[in-house]
Amino acid sequence: MVAEFQELKDFILNLKGSKVCYFEKGDIIIKQDDKVDFVFYLVDGLIYRTVLSEKGDETIYDTKSGDNQLKSLLGLLYLFDNGVSYTNFIAKTHCTCYKIPKEVIWKFISDKPDILRELINIAMNFYNSTIVLIQNKQQKKAVNRLCQFLLEQANVVNGKLAVRKACTNVEISKFLGIHPVTSARIIKCLIDEKVIVRCKNGLTILDENKLKEYAREIRNMTYS
């Protein structure tokens, strides 16, 4: 399977029908409700997959990072449906992509069962995470979802557990499908309890154990 994934990347980078293109932060690579005529392979950068509701509310469903094999392909799964994108793919940073005609990529993968199985796996993971997002939203578990999100986004930087600067209150609310005010109130409570602290480069986790207790609903919070 690894060999076929490498073949996929080499194929894309050397394909005559594909061409390199660049996007700046905020550019829409694939627009919601548009017909997908091209598939994009993200070589470098970060992309958000979002949905805009009829009321104008934006929800971030997942992210795409550069050069991550099949997971870096944008728009491919829509070819298995009606060929119309039901999400936006928006550049969060400067991005380098290869733009591939849908007929070309379809012909390449159609006789490769390992790649098709992995695409099904990617689709099911996205489906399952979407179901969890909807269920949690219905159950109004904002506190534990936000705390779990912070834990998932954290990385060790200079010996401290830090959440990247781009995770603002507004962005967190879009990932979780909650109101920005709700996100801000929960963050404030966590800061007041010295669970996290806001630094120049983002949020730093001071008490990982307490944050995990909130995430697992062992500890309760009143934030309204």
Which CATH number goes with the domain that contains 176?
2.60.120.10
The verdict on residue 224 lying in a domain is no
Instruction: Please check whether residues 151 and 98 belong to one and the same domain.
Output: no
Spell out the alpha helix ranges (H) of 50-201.
102-109, 113-138, 142-153, 169-176, 180-192
Q: Indicate the residue among 77, 106, 137 that finishes a domain.
A: 137
pLDDT reported for residue 136: 62
Which of 112, 137, 162 is the last residue in one of the domains?
137
Separate counts of helices (H) and strands (E) for the chain? 7, 12
Per-run averaged pLDDT (10 residues), the chain, 224 residues: 56 76 96 93 93 84 85 88 91 94 85 84 84 65 89 88 84 86 92 91 91 90 79
pLDDT recorded at residue 175: 86
Backbone angles phi, psi at 35, to 5 degrees: -70, 135
Domain containing residue 95 = 2-137
Residues 23 and 116 in one domain: yes
- State how far the Cα of 125 lies from the Cα of 128, in Å rounded to an integer: 5
Question: Is 223 domain-assigned?
Answer: no
187-191 own/partner pairs: CB under 8 Å, 24+ apart: 187/146, 188/223, 189/221, 189/223, 190/147, 190/214
Residues paired with 73 in a beta bridge = 41
Separation in Å, CA 51 to CA 89, 90, 178 = 9, 10, 14
**Confidence (pLDDT) at 187:** 93
The pLDDT, as a whole number, for residue 6 is 57
At residue 203, the pLDDT reads 92
